């Protein structure tokens, strides 16, 4: 039974706690020597561990094993995918522009290897979903280009209409990238159904180690040019000695996360419990992306007049870790570009908090959060309790 003083972690979208089975696997691997490129026994053992993990990650996203390339994390995965230079059926092809949504992760907002002048921002609606009519208008007359849209938003949990976006991309001869970093382990990943040419993942979002991710292509005949060149590792798609321990841990986390997909209803119940409790405390609570399909684990909300930064400190003093709906950089909190793109007023966006749950979240965690919230509201802005919805 958890004690009232035990720390509670409700920031899985920033990074999930390491799963025990992952830790055990990585410790075992770290005890062994061996470079996976070596032909002796130690090297072959390391190679076997990498290929086993490749199979496990491939199963998580319904891909062929050879379609998985391990990289250092989600940012490198996105930088690799966001390339104007690809190989298609063995022939080089140059993509003219990058069309990306207004609510992408910063690693996609930067545009990867596309020049700033070649990047086009696609607007979203009030729920944070890509405006399909605007997307089609923008891409229908364009030369072959890359469309990049995240599967689910890291701040609001809103799930994009990926199959429809994939249809638009295919109909007009474009390539399609899906950043599935927040979605993996929380919803089915299906490159075929989405018509996605490339999907990117990061292990630490669902209980794997930090510093390891993957680029997953739908067809090994259509791949982005390598970002890291050097030796022939990862089938010449990513140079550099493989991090065997992290890759092995990624594989174990992928296996456990895949098995847990059947239990997403439990997280959805916890999210409903949370949001019902929030509105019982403050009827004026705004839940961002509420009108969209959202990940079962994510709730982004605001109470007018309660600054997120101050509320975060109050929760932290109670040993409860949550996140702001704002973008953080060098310790400074700024208004979220996601909420701005959704049309949220700046004063309300500055009040946005995010609760994100995961593999070790319990009902007791949510109840403790809800037990603290009225006290924090009364301390910061007691009038908020009486504001009408």
b/e code 338-361 from CB counts within 10 Å (16+ = b): bbebbebeeebbbbbbbbbbbbeb
Active site residue 328: yes
What is the token pair recorded at 159?
A: 């799930």
Residues with Cβ within 8 Å of residue 385, at least 6 apart in sequence: 281, 282, 374, 377, 378
Contact call for residues 61 and 193 (beta carbons, < 8 A): no
* 56, 250, 158, 278 alpha-carbon torsion, rounded to 10°: 120
CB 349 within 8 A of CB 325: yes
CA pair distance 231, 240, nearest whole angstrom = 6
Dump strand ranges (E) for the chain.
8-9, 68-71, 85-88, 91-94, 98-101, 119-122, 146-150, 175-179, 198-202, 213-217, 222-224, 286-287, 298-302, 320-321, 323-324, 327-329, 332-334, 352-356
Say how many CA atoms lie within 13 Å of 102 toward its Cβ. Answer: 21
Cβ pair 13, 322 in contact under 8 A? no
Within 8 A by CB and 6+ apart from 309, the residues are 324, 326, 333, 350
Catalytic residue among 25, 300, 328, 351: 328
Number of residues assigned to the chain: 389
Instruction: Give the DSSP H or E segment for 259.
Output: helix 244-260
Q: From residue 313, give the alpha-carbon distance in Å to each of 153, 321, 375.
A: 24, 9, 13
The SS3 assignment for 359 reads coil
Look at strands 98-101 and 119-122 and give their pairing. Answer: parallel
Which positions are annotated as active-site residues? 328
């Amino acid at each position: 039974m958890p004690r009232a003083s035990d720390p509670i972690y409700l920031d899985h979208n920033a990074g999930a706690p390491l799963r025990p089975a992952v830790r055990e696997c990585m410790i075992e691997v770290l005890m062994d020597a061996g470079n996976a490129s070596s032909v002796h026994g130690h090297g072959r053992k390391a190679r076997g561990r990498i290929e086993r993990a490749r199979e496990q990650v491939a199963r998580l996203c319904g891909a062929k094993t050879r379609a998985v390339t391990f990289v250092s994390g989600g940012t490198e995965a996105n930088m690799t995918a966001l390339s104007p230079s690809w190989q298609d059926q063995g022939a080089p092809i140059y993509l003219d522009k990058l069309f990306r949504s207004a609510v992408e992760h910063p690693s996609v907002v930067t545009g990867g290897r596309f020049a700033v002048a070649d990047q086009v921002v696609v607007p979203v609606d009030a729920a944070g979903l890509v405006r399909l009519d605007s997307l089609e208008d923008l891409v229908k007359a364009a030369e072959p280009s890359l469309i990049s849209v995240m599967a689910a938003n890291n701040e609001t949990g809103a799930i994009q209409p990926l199959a429809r976006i994939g249809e638009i991309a295919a109909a007009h001869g474009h390539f399609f990238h899906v950043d599935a970093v927040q979605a993996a382990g929380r919803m089915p990943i299906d490159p075929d159904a989405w018509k996605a040419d490339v999907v990117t993942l990061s292990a630490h979002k669902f209980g794997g180690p930090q510093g390891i991710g993957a680029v997953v292509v739908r067809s090994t005949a259509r791949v982005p040019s390598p970002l890291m060149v050097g030796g022939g590792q990862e089938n010449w798609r990513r140079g550099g000695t493989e991090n065997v321990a992290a890759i092995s841990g990624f594989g174990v986390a992928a296996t456990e996360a895949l098995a847990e997909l059947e239990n997403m209803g439990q997280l959805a119940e916890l999210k409903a419990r949370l949001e019902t409790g929030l509105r019982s405390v403050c009827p004026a609570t705004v839940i961002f992306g509420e009108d969209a399909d959202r990940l079962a684990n994510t709730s982004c909300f605001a109470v007018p007049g309660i600054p997120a930064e101050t509320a975060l400190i109050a929760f932290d003093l109670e040993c409860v870790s949550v996140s702001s709906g704002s973008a953080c950089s060098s310790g400074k909190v700024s208004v979220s570009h996601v909420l701005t793109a959704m049309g949220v007023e700046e004063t309300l966006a500055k009040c946005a908090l995010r609760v994100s749950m995961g593999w070790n979240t319990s009902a007791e965690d949510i109840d403790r959060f809800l037990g603290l919230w009225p006290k924090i509201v009364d301390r910061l802005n007691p009038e908020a309790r009486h504001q009408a919805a």
